[in-house]
Amino acid sequence: MINLFIFTSSFLSLLVLISGASKTDYFTSFSPDLPLPTSPSPTFSLIRDSWSTTSNIFFSLFYLYINPERSTTPLLLSSHLSLPHFLSFSSHHIPLSTINPFNHLSSLFSSSSMDRDLFSHIDTDLNSISYLSLNYDHFDSALSSIVSSPSAAPTPPGPNDSLVLRELIGRLGTICNNKSASVGAGDHSANTSCYSTPLSSPPKSSLHPLPNMNPNPNPMPFAPDPGFADRAARMPCFGGGPHMAMSGQLSRVSSSQSLMDAGMTGGVQLEGELPVRENGAGGRGANNGRKRKAGVKGKGKEASLASSGTVNSKISEEDQSAKRCRPDCKAGEKKGGTEEKNGNCSENNNGDRENKNDSDSNNANAKPVEPPKDYIHVRARRGQATDSHSLAERVRREKISERMKLLQDLVPGCNKVTGKAVMLDEIINYVQSLQRQVEFLSMKLATVNTPSDVNMDNLLQKDMQQPLYRSAFSYPNQPQVAPLNSLLATNSIPNLGMQPSSNLPFDGFGNANPQIGGFWEDDLQSVVQMGFGQNQEAALSSQSFQGSGPSSSDMKIEL
Amino acid sequence: MASVPSSSSSSPSQPKTRKKPGQNSSPAPPPQTKWRTGTQERLYSRRLVDALRATRDRTQVQESVGSRAVKEAADSALALTARGQSRWSRAILFGRNSCRRKLLVKAGGKIRRHRRKQHGVPPVAAEPGVLKEQKVKERLRKLGRLVPGCRKLPAATLLEEAADYVAALELQVRTMRALADALSAATVSAPEEEETAAVDPMAIAEQGS
């Protein structure tokens, strides 16, 4: 006994030292004796221990009432460890009022993040505690939960304790069921509710609307395994972000349950759900499909999935609809979505979780109707990942292919070519050739430019602006220009008309150009000399810039 | 080039229904129809003529007209015709107005004349899929270098700009060729014209009525 007291007192002192500053404040203020080392005389130690334990307990109660949610690891541990003292002294001295808070203690203890080192210390006391817990009804809920928490630790308890643990776990289930009404009332409901949720109905858990799950930055301990399993089981929809976290948590839960060798239905259900989820994800991947903006194929996909299994379909539908909305949101955000859009997306997300049918119908209705805003509804195709990232990638790729097609129409001779690289090669060659032509023509213009100033004004202006047969009237002052106009009209139009319809390979275009120009010049000179200019121009004036100008051979004949 | 540009001879005015710069996606007219209308040609030709005249006037005093000046004038005229709606046109216009060097020096950045080949050569690719990607990326980069002001654009925008630029270049080539030929014809046949100058206007008038 004395050894036990010394041990506990030393442990308490250790705890005090380990605990944070905020907590030690209270400790030191209320129990100045604690930091002291083990006392020399046993009687004095006994007295001190008793006083320390009582003070601890009362202080812990006080602390709990003040800050129920704070993690009070050392407090609880100390209080729990002092329990043997209590029980050893006399149970009668303990007022009943102290027993009730142990429910709180248990819940807190379960919710707080446990230090594994402390668990190892607790293991040694497990036997005593478990034995004691079996005797005391009031302590059952508290102690069983406490026991279950260390049992869930990665270091599995010894084989002797397994039976005890199983008993306790079973009791825990029953206790929680019994206490669901009493406990869940006005307590630290967040934590006790997880206990109060009926463990026997996990199949419904997946279909429950998702409670406000805060992705805990501190990973939930294995302590509230039934509650945690329940909560985990309630998470039907794997988002892109929390997906990994949830899967990790689920795996942990399953492993811990396997450790505990629990016969709980919750564990079985979870394991059943895990492969279901995987199938859902895999099924989606295995299906073949096309991404499109209409909702017909997607509906067919949902129907096919629904046929495979209710749970599977529901999960997949949820995921699918969630994913549907996510790329919408993402696309909307990309396009500078307004708040309405985001509200729309969030609404859709919530609606998905609650009423899948409604969300499907909404989405289906939204798809054929082009939103007035500027974003694109994107639906994942069959057989392709529904990750929001990949969907955005696909949108981007489609945009690029669209533009490539546009370029293909522009660049001559690219219809046969397939493949981005070769197409780009062709485009680059074409652009380079065009630029070279421009350079060449600019050189030519430079040489032609200097001699006459006046011609420049009227040359092309009049050609382009007015029908050519009127050009003569517009130049009263410059009669010599009029025939030039006619000449140039004849000269220019065939060039303009020829360009679009010519099939000359652009490799030799630069070379062919001066020849053709020279050819026309010669012809036109002869025309002028013959005086057939006006005839030609009249004939040619009708062929302005329509692009379907006569071929070179026709021009020859005309001339 | 199978597409036929819309006829524009009947429209005396030059209505320019241009898309706003904000709309970048589907509402934008494809570059073919945009650049092949007669209005564009008229506009461009007019601008080109003005630019050439200005160039000639400017350089006549000093020296012979440089071909580069002509080219720049032509490019600026083309960019003006594009009305600054495309990236390359803005790049051309702003590149001409203020010397690029001054801008860059002011900004504090280095002027990189040549693109180092070391950067351009990619390392050995692991799979053929990666190889193709690299080829495509290389070509996209090359295209970005060709199109003015489009060096660091993403692929989609780059392709759009390239399409616009290609159409504009075609227009430019057409117009310049016509102009050059006209000018050359004019200069060549100028001395012979004067003889028949009196006759032709009358003949033309008769033909027109």
Q: List the alpha helices (DSSP H) in A335-377.
A: 339-354, 356-366
Quote the CA–CA distance of A105 and A72 in Å, as a whole number: 9
pLDDT, averaged per 10 consecutive residues of chain B (209 residues), comes to 42 42 50 67 72 69 65 80 79 71 55 52 63 84 83 83 87 84 77 54 53
Hey, is the C-beta of B19 within 8 angstroms of any chain A C-beta? no
Q: Show residues of chain A in contact with B183, CB under 8 Å.
A: 445, 448-449, 455-456, 459
Q: Which amino acid is at A439?
A: E
B49 vs A contacts (CB less than 8 Å): 456-457, 459-461
Residue ranges of B 141-160 with Cβ closer than 8 A to chain A: 142-143, 146-147, 155-156, 159-160
Using CA atoms, how far apart are residues A434 and A438, in angstroms rounded to an integer? 6
Which DSSP string corresponds to A492-538?
Answer: HHHHHHHHHH----TTTHHHHHHHHHHHHHHHHHHHHHHT-HHHHHH
8 Å CB contact between A447 and B146: no
- Considering CB atoms only, which of A461, A465, A547 is closest to B4? A547
Distance CA A516, CA B181 (A): 10
Alpha helices in A152-241 (DSSP H): 159-183, 189-196, 225-233
Give dist(CA B79, CA B76) in Å, integer. 5
Q: Are A440 and B74 in contact (CB under 8 A)?
A: no
Distance of alpha carbon B89 from alpha carbon B95, whole angstroms: 10
Q: For A494, which residue in chain B has the nearest alpha carbon?
A: B178
Q: In the prediction, which pLDDT does A433 show?
A: 92
CB interface of B with A, residues 22-61, below 8 Å: 25, 30-32, 36, 38, 41-42, 45-46, 48-49, 52-53, 55-56, 60
Which pLDDT value is given to residue B199? 53
Distance CA A275, CA A277 (A): 5
Contact between B156 and A403 using a beta-carbon 8 Å cutoff: yes
pLDDT tens track for A379-401: 777 777 788 889 999 998 888 88
Strand blocks (E) in A419-459: none
Q: What is the pLDDT of residues B35-84, one digit of tens each?
A: 666 666 767 777 777 777 777 676 665 555 567 777 877 888 888 887 76
Judge whether A377 and A366 are in contact, CB under 8 Å: yes
On whether ipTM exceeds 0.85, the answer is no
Task: Say yes or no: B5 contacts chain A, CB-CB below 8 A.
Answer: yes
Whether pTM > 0.90 for this model: the answer is no
Which percentage of chain A shows pLDDT scores above 70? Answer: 13
The CA-based dihedral angle spanning residues A371, A375, A381, A385, taken in that order and rounded to the nearest 10 degrees:
-140
Separation between Cα atoms, residue A95 and residue A378, nearest integer Å? 65
Considering only CA atoms, give the Rg of chain A: 43
Cα torsion at A227, A228, A232, A234 (round to 10°)?
Answer: 20
Whether the per-residue pLDDT at A417 is higher than 60: the answer is yes
Look at residue B132 in the predicted model and tell me its pLDDT.
Answer: 81
Chain B residues in contact with A492 by the CB 8 A cut-off are 178-179, 181-182
